[in-house]
A and B are shown apart, each in its own frame.
Chain A
Amino acid sequence: MHVAVPGVKTLVPYLDEYWQERVRIQQLERLDLSLTSYPPTAPLSGRPDWRPQQGPPGSDLALLQEKALERFGVRYAILNCLWGSQVLFAEDMAAAFCRAVNDWIAAEWLDRDSRLRASIMVPTQNPELAAAEIERRAGDPRFVQVLVLAGLDLPLGRRLNWPIFKAATAHRLPVAVHAGSAYRHPPSSSGWPSFLLEDYVSNTQLFAAQLASLVSEGVFAKFPELKVVLVESGFTWLPAFAWKFNKTWRGVRTEVPWVTKPPFDIIRDHVRLTIQPTDAPNDPAIINALIEQIGSDDMLLFASDFPHWQFDGDDVLPDGLDDALLQKILVENPLATYPRLGELVA
């Protein structure tokens, strides 16, 4: 689920004196710092009946409670905040704003509804500062994962990024890779697409590249406890990607001798995916064929992606899933992926 920071103004109370001064001098309180990936007024960013009267989609707690938590009978919901602090060039400003967002989430969301949990927004611009933010939040058990955007400066698996994984695994926190980009690189290796629709569809290539990086660089070999969650990636692309990955791996083992198992097996052990969007026809035969190709019942996690418009009415799940698999998607897999979910809040 998503919560939206209405604007820089909202965070001012959570900034220290220096950053409040900067906001004042630069007149930053006029900015909303929303993402090119999710313009607030674009159709995908908010289903019409999920949009508040005031403010961007995801900024209204009552609406979230009624339309999502109550509607879907949610026991725990993980809030992911997609906001511009992860896109800024200046590292210190990014770190200050991420910290403020996490404080704001705790005070104005987690404190107000005991069903809510959250991802830690980290300044990926500087992995050491990101690790420091993880350390800062680790003591609050309502923060259950670390959040990064799918499009960053460097491929996620690069060793320069490892302080993030080290801190995350030290505190049993999965790392969520969420659709969206800082646009340091264009969405295609042939430059900049014309349309938001095109960028969104191209997220598949972005997620695939990040997964290839994580496995090839040996992140899961170095951090065997790590779980990575691909959020809003769609999941139906995974088998084709993994088959090719396995095929190439068999012939290039000398290059990456720390990849000691077929990549698809490593992915099954360490990677989870949320079910929105379900990029397939609502045909049980096709859905079940895809799940069989994925080859593991442990990988899919329930999500509504509220307030993003991925489905109409209550059609949050595809047809044709058997009860045992449903139980895994709705309850068991999330509990297994997020060890903190089951713990009592202090």
Chain B
Amino acid sequence: MPNRYVVAKVGEIAPGSSKLVKVAGRDIGVFNLNDSYYALLSKCPHKGAELCKGKIVRRVTSDEPGSYTVIPNSEMIRCPWHGWQYDLRTGQSWCDQDNVALRKYAVSVETGEGLLKGPYVAESYRVVVDESYVVVEI
């Protein structure tokens, strides 16, 4: 049974922004995307940077050089150090494939998306809204 921690009041974190909290000995970023909440451990699996102090960015794909498509509802957190990007909703990284020593997950190419999933995953937590509070389950 996970422990539940209140991290914010509803309305405190504006849509599109985040709050950094310390909970159960962990630094966690809590994000509001269109009034759905997501939480990630604020530690980049690459070199340990405070991941959640980075910018929220969106995925960009391309049909060919010179064309740029911004994908809606694709928010990622971009690590403030070396720029690695992680899907805010799942923690999945989008930056590497074949690092043999650190590979944990099967790698796949998704048709039409044009990006490779990486083996790194930023640890994520379930967030629920309980009455007027935002609650993280760890």
A262 and B97 contact, Cβ closer than 8 Å, known pairs A250-B83, A252-B83, A257-B60: yes
Q: Is A73 part of the contact surface with B, judged by Cβ < 8 Å?
A: no
Taking CB atoms, residues of chain B closer than 8 Å to A262 are: 96-98
Query: Nearest residue in B to A162 (C-beta to C-beta)?
Result: B65
Contacts of A251-296 to chain B: CB distance below 8 A? 251-254, 257-258, 260-262, 265
A251: which of B63, B84, B115 is its contact (CB, 8 Å)?
B84
Selecting from A74-82, A176-184, A215-223, A316-324, the interface stretch reads: A215-223
User: Is A254 a contact partner of B116 (Cβ separation < 8 A)?
Assistant: no
CB distance from B65 to the nearest CB of A (A): 3
Interface size class of B (residues with CB under 8 A): 20 to 34
Interface readout for B52-70 with A: 1 if CB under 8 Å, 0 if not?
0000010011111111110
B68 pairs with A257, CB closer than 8 A:
yes
Query: Which of A159, A254, A261, A265 is most buried by chain B, counting CB atoms within 10 A of its CB?
Result: A254
**Chain A positions within 8 Å of B98 at CB level:** 262, 265
Known contacts A260-B115, A262-B96; is A253 also within 8 Å of B85 by CB? yes
CB distance from B90 to the nearest CB of A (A): 18
Evaluate contact between A218 and B64: CB separation under 8 angstroms. yes
Question: Is the beta-carbon distance between A260 and B114 smaller than 8 angstroms?
Answer: yes
Number of A interface residues at 8 Å Cβ cutoff, please give it: 18
Instruction: Looking at the assembled complex, report how far the CB atom of B116 sits from the nearest CB atom of chain A, in whole angstroms.
Output: 6
Contact A258 B62 (CB under 8 A): yes
- The yes or no answer to B95 lying at the interface (CB within 8 A) is yes
B94 interface residue, CB < 8 Å from A?
yes
Q: Do the beta carbons of A258 and B64 come within 8 Å of each other?
A: yes
Contact B66 A159 (CB under 8 A): yes
Q: Is the CB of B95 within 8 A of A253?
A: yes
Q: Return the contact of A217 from the options B65, B68, B96, B115 (Cβ within 8 A).
A: B65
Which residues does A use to contact B, with CB under 8 Å?
159, 217-219, 221-222, 247, 250-254, 257-258, 260-262, 265
6 A-B pairs with the lowest CB-CB distances in the bound complex, closest first: A251-B83, A218-B65, A257-B62, A258-B62, A250-B95, A257-B60
Chain B residues engaging chain A, CB cutoff 8 angstroms: 57, 60-69, 79, 82-85, 94-98, 114-116
CB pairs A–B below 8 angstroms (6 shown): A221-B65, A250-B83, A253-B115, A257-B61, A257-B62, A257-B68
